[in-house]
Amino acid sequence: MTSACFGDASSAMGLRNVEIGASVPAFSVRALDGTTVERDAFQDRVLLVVFTRPDHEKSLKALIAAQSILEANADAKLSVLAVATQEEADQYFRRIVAENHLTYPIALDPQRKMYGDFGVVVAPTTLLIDGGGILRFVIPHLPISYDRQLRLHTELLLGKITTEDHQQQLAQADESKVDGQDPWTRRLGLARILIDQRNWEQAVPILTKLCAERDDPLAAALLGTALLELNRVDEAATYLEPLAKRELKSPKIMLALARLELRRGNDNAAEQYLTGALAISPAKGPILFELGRIHEKRGDLNKAVECYRQALEELLGSP
């Protein structure tokens, strides 16, 4: 399975502690009606978890979209759970439930236990978990394609569409973005869409052919990034190492090289690439997030928090 996102920044920052394909942590949270909601209650059911926050327009839209998905699949084994951290927001969420006729539980996590166990960074963040408790998709924030992604991912997990149909519909919906270009550039555009959707498996064969046809540093960097995400580090290195020798001043390429060094445990080398990329990139969020991870690993929490804060400011902008 794959995960969906709307770009490198969101894919990096949507969830920190649980990877796609891994079992989700056990959780126990108290809903607004006082009942306890636990992970084991959703065995054999597809579960959508929406991490939300009060008085936030995008979070509210995610809650309403989840209700629509639930109603559209009323005959299926599908459940929804929303989770917020602010205990004082009890009355706000009660009003939201009443005004929008939400039929699923909203739970409060005032100690941020569930948020921390999952490593949630952005609100809203939507998780799609299969009936076996495996995380299958993550949608951080609220991309323009949120409703479509949520619908297609849910239908796939419920068995209503095939994997092939799922991937085709995701790609077809974005084809207009790359129409009118030459065939090679068009395929690169489609590969970038797949990368943005974290569809690494489908992106790799397309990018492999593109790299064989043309010496293009960006295509090589994208292919290396996808291979790293699939834990094919040695293969990624065959595409990324030549880029390092060419000393190309491209933020995307430098970020890809930094991620390779991080996988190899070479934090100092990774930091050099990230620092260089930060100086020339107009989009600093993904770079700051990786720098934050390095500082956190070293135990310099103040620097880590500052990097994460700046990254989130760029990603979220104004509420």
Q: Which domains does the chain have, with CATH numbers?
A: 8-171 (3.40.30.10), 176-281 (1.25.40.10)
More confident residue, 175 or 71: 71
The two three-digit tokens of residue 283, written as one number: 């989009």
- Give the per-residue pLDDT at 143: 81
Q: What is the pTM of this model?
A: 0.59
Q: What is the pLDDT of residues 12-24, one digit of tens each?
A: 446 788 888 999 9
- Give the per-residue pLDDT at 173: 57
Calculate mean pLDDT across residues 108-112: 89
Calculate mean pLDDT across residues 52-73: 91
Q: What is the pLDDT of residues 121-149, one digit of tens each?
A: 888 999 999 999 999 999 988 887 888 88
Cross-strand partners of 108 = 30, 84
Calculate mean pLDDT across residues 171-175: 60
Q: Which residue has the tokens 């969830």?
A: 15
Is residue 135 within 8 A of residue 24, CB to CB? The reply is yes
66, 42, 194: which is closest to 124 by C-alpha? 66
Q: What is the pLDDT of residues 96-107, one digit of tens each?
A: 998 888 999 999
- Give the per-residue pLDDT at 6: 30
Q: What is the mean pLDDT of the chain?
A: 86
Q: What is the pLDDT of residues 192-245, one digit of tens each?
A: 888 877 889 889 999 999 999 988 888 999 999 999 999 999 999 999 999 888
- Give the per-residue pLDDT at 45: 96
* 34, burial (CB in 10 Å: exposed 0-12, middle 13-18, buried 19+): exposed
Phi–psi pair at 139, nearest 5 degrees: -120, 100
Q: What is the DSSP letter of 46?
A: E
Q: How far is CA 137 from CA 15, 45, 59, in A?
A: 11, 15, 18
Where are the extended beta strands (E) located within 32-181?
36-38, 46-51, 78-84, 106-108, 125-129, 135-140
